[in-house]
Amino acid sequence: MPPPRSRPTETGSSRPNPAYLPPCPSETDVREAGIVLKPEENPPFSWPPEVALSQFSGAWWVAHTRSRNEKALAWHLQTKNVQYFLPMTWKVSKSHGRTFRSLLPLFTGYMFFCGNENDRIEALKSNRVANLIAVNDPVRLIRELTPIDILIRQGTILLPHKYLKEGQRVRVIAGPLLGTEGIILHEPEKLRLVLQVDILGQATSVEIDADFVEPIDPA
């Protein structure tokens, strides 16, 4: 559960601007684990929110969190001013005639952070981490996470997707994801671009126009 709304961080900052959260589809209630949360009661999905992932400095780690501790770890890292990325998306559900939207981690149980050895120790001291995975290829990780970061900032709906070991690879040739590579899925009347995060063995997908992609010939 997030700390009280009025609680400042140890670096002197207050609650995040809602603009640093994935845009909510509407003003209806937001529910998580039976608790009604306002958008500003969720942590920013990226910290510092105005800094691109490619500009983060230091070593990268993947934090495998304890159950439902992704946001709590994000709050802890923010108070220590540790750079992190917690991709989140809105899940819509209905109950008793009401529509609820829950802001949930895109990759359940995982988040990414960047820094030095002291930052790694701070993550462990939070008691929110089950395991840390050192990232041996940060360039590749940033390349895989950047399109997800861009889409979240735009308010695009991302869906969790199973990791694909094969499929038609394409390259995006127009729009904000220009140059991004992924796997294309053909669904009735639409296409979806699958974006994979190899270190997790997980993926997400987004709807895309056929005119925005071109096939990549296998080597």
Same domain, 124 and 192: no
- 38, pLDDT greater than 90: no
For residue 112, give the DSSP letter. E
**Single-letter amino acid code for the residue at 164:** L
What tens digit of pLDDT does each residue of 137-152 get? 999 999 999 999 999 9
State residue 179's pLDDT score: 96
What tens digit of pLDDT does each residue of 51-110 get? 999 999 999 999 999 999 999 999 999 999 999 999 999 887 788 888 877 889 999 999
Q: Which domain holds residue 173?
A: 158-219
- What CATH code is carried by the domain that includes residue 193? 2.30.30
- What CATH code is carried by the domain that includes residue 120? 3.30.70
Going 16 to 12 to 73 to 131, the CA torsion angle's sign is positive
Q: Domain boundary at 77, 106, 136, which?
A: 136
142, part of any domain: no
In the chain, which ranges are E strands? 31-32, 35-36, 46-47, 59-65, 83-85, 88-95, 98-105, 110-115, 129-134, 159-161, 169-172, 181-187, 190-197, 202-208, 213-215
Q: How many structural domains compose the chain?
A: 2
Full-prediction pTM beyond 0.75? yes
218, part of any domain: yes
Same domain, 98 and 170: no
State residue 100's pLDDT score: 77
Same domain, 81 and 51: yes
Band (pLDDT 50/70/90 cuts) for residue 111 is very high
State residue 22's pLDDT score: 66
